[in-house]
Amino acid sequence: MTISNTEPFLAARLIKEIGRGKNGARSMTRDDAHDLYQAMLDGRVSDLELGGILLSMRIKGESVEEIAGFLDAAEGAFEPLTAPPGQFAPVCIPSYNGARKMANLTPLLAMLLAREGVPVLVHGVAHDLGRVASAEVFEALGVTAVRHRAEAEEEMAKGHVAFITIDALAPKLAYMLSLRRRLGVRNSTHTLVKIMQPFAGPALRLVSYTHPEYLEMLGEYFTTSALHERGDAFLMRGTEGETVANANKAQQIDWFHGGLRTTLVPKQTQVGELPVLPEDKSAAATAEWIASVLRGDVPVPPSIAEQVAQCLLVSRTLQSRQRVSEPIE
């Protein structure tokens, strides 16, 4: 019997396993995690059960199998994008944290890559209370959020950064993110949007983490999953949660490729002369400073320049690898 998309999903048997607390809970299989999250996205889980699931996972933490199953369902909930042809594979930059203490330089990273000919997609939230979102900096730079997938593809084909909100890219995931306002805490979707691969073909994902336990879990996920079929990934500690190198002190960047893990940029232990960054952290002031960097009036912070260089190298390598694997007609 085929279950329709509207048939309620009874989650009690799974809540019984994941809801036993941090020490007593048991993890779901990848298939169970996929089916549960797909039902959540389709609205087939009651509000009572949904709240129980989200809080249980918040306390327990996701296993590699669970995050893989959730991601399978998440990436199946929206139509993937097609990157324009060229010498570079696309680079995907999630932006869901914004900045509070430092200037948000995610748009600078994206625009530096696009200037080199890389198709760049940035996806994230339009606003973040108490923080400066990348969307606001992009807007001040004249980069308006695209309205749908086709517009994103058009912008990338023109050599521009394509910024799309999660509401436009994947509305079902956007709804799951919005539940933070009702429950008061983040849920698994906040991790999923940072690691998902929205392209139909291979792409380079820039992924960040904020808590040490996610470094271990995501490191295992990227080395054991079929990552090579979807592209490669860079993993680093976030700059206030954003996947852009800290302009003052570079974080370690690990490259996951074909089941292997390579450290591209070691953690910076000593700090030399600090770059001159904007004192005003507002979107307008940050945009003005980024524009001065793009004009060449202000040097690119060395750590971000290094991140750009590594992205260019791997993006080109990934695209070359894809061409070799394509069948000859």
- Single out the residue of 67, 72, 64 nearest to residue 220, CA to CA: 64
CATH 3.40.1030.10 fits 91-325, yes or no: yes
Percent of the chain with pLDDT over 70: 94
Give the list of residues 6+ apart from residue 268 with CB closer than 8 angstroms, or none: 249, 250, 251, 303
pLDDT in the model for residue 2: 40
Chain segment 3-14, per-residue pLDDT in tens: 447 899 999 999
Question: pTM for this structure?
Answer: 0.94
Chain segment 252-280, per-residue pLDDT in tens: 999 999 889 999 999 876 566 778 888 89
pLDDT in the model for residue 281: 93
Higher pLDDT, 21 or 108: 108
Give the list of residues 6+ apart from residue 35 with CB closer than 8 angstroms, or none: 9, 69, 73
Q: What is the mean pLDDT of the chain?
A: 93
Listed by start position, the domains of the chain span 12-75, 91-325
Radius of gyration of the chain (CA): 20
Residues pairing with 261 in the sheet = 256
pLDDT in the model for residue 329: 46
Joined together, the tokens standing for residue 136 give 């606001």
Q: Report the pLDDT averaged over residues 315-328.
A: 76
CA 246 to chain centre: 17
Alpha-carbon gap, residue 87 to 130, rounded angstroms = 39
Of the CATH numbers 1.10.3720.10, 2.30.110.10, 1.20.970.10, 3.30.70.380, which one belongs to the domain with range 12-75? 1.20.970.10
Q: Report the pLDDT averaged over residues 50-71.
A: 96
